[in-house]
Chains A and B, each alone.
Chain A
Amino acid sequence: KNQVEQSPQSLIILEGKNCTLQCNYTVSPFSNLRWYKQDTGRGPVSLTIMTFSENTKSNGRYTATLDADTKQSSLHITASQLSDSASYICVVSDRGSTLGRLYFGRGTQLTVWP
């Protein structure tokens, strides 16, 4: 069964600190992996998208890594800000059919305290 598991479920850090969020998946055959940020009461917004051949991709203070062999991805946030408080969702797409299904994780709820 194709699944996307995220950890931790929730995380509290102090402003200015770094943190790393994890995503493990069993989706096969793999097409790409995306990280979304969802602020409370809003829709998800894309942060990064990574294909099979990409190991690292950065978007400002956000850096995503992908290990396609172990089927793991991480999202590292550097020098956290209060505005980073949100749910971070990992989404994996397969390429097993023309539809190309998306598999969503349940998200990691990050809270940044001043």
Chain B
Amino acid sequence: EADIYQTPRYLVIGTGKKITLECSQTMGHDKMYWYQQDPGMELHLIHYSYGVNSTEKGDLSSESTVSRIRTEHFPLTLESARPSHTSQYLCASSEGTGNSGANVLTFGAGSRLTVL
């Protein structure tokens, strides 16, 4: 059973709207990540966090922002959505040193965003 939860699973909105994708994990993991995935393409890291009040931008330039006020919660916000933001957004977490070493990522089910 997944211990990392994403909401909403699907979202269709109009251009210019502000949206927040929620991600929560119950495993007490320090590290959390947001990935963007388009069909047939590799996952791209857009944000990550090593712990509370720690956030960094990933490899893929993104107009989204994130926050990490609580260990279990890592929401992603788009202030003004555009059609180019249409994609699948995957949240993940890992314990310890996370993105390195042998630590395994646990992924949420994803949020599929469509901007009209």
Tell me the A residues contacting B by CB distance below 8 Å: 4, 9, 31-32, 34, 41-46, 49, 51, 89, 93, 95, 98-102, 104-107, 109
- Contact at B110–A104, with CB atoms within 8 Å? no
- Contact at B105–A46, with CB atoms within 8 Å? yes
Residue among A31, A45, A95, A102 making CB contact with B45, cutoff 8 Å: A102
**What is the predominant secondary structure among interface residues of chain B facing chain A?**
loop
Tell me the B residues contacting A by CB distance below 8 Å: 2, 4, 40-45, 59, 90-92, 97, 99-102, 104-110, 112
- Contact at B43–A51, with CB atoms within 8 Å? no
B92 CB to closest chain A CB, in angstroms? 7
Which of chain B's residues have a CB closer than 8 A to the CB of A46? 104-106
B12 CB to closest chain A CB, in angstroms? 15
Which of chain B's residues have a CB closer than 8 A to the CB of A41? 109-110, 112
- Contact at A49–B104, with CB atoms within 8 Å? yes
- Contact at B101–A31, with CB atoms within 8 Å? yes
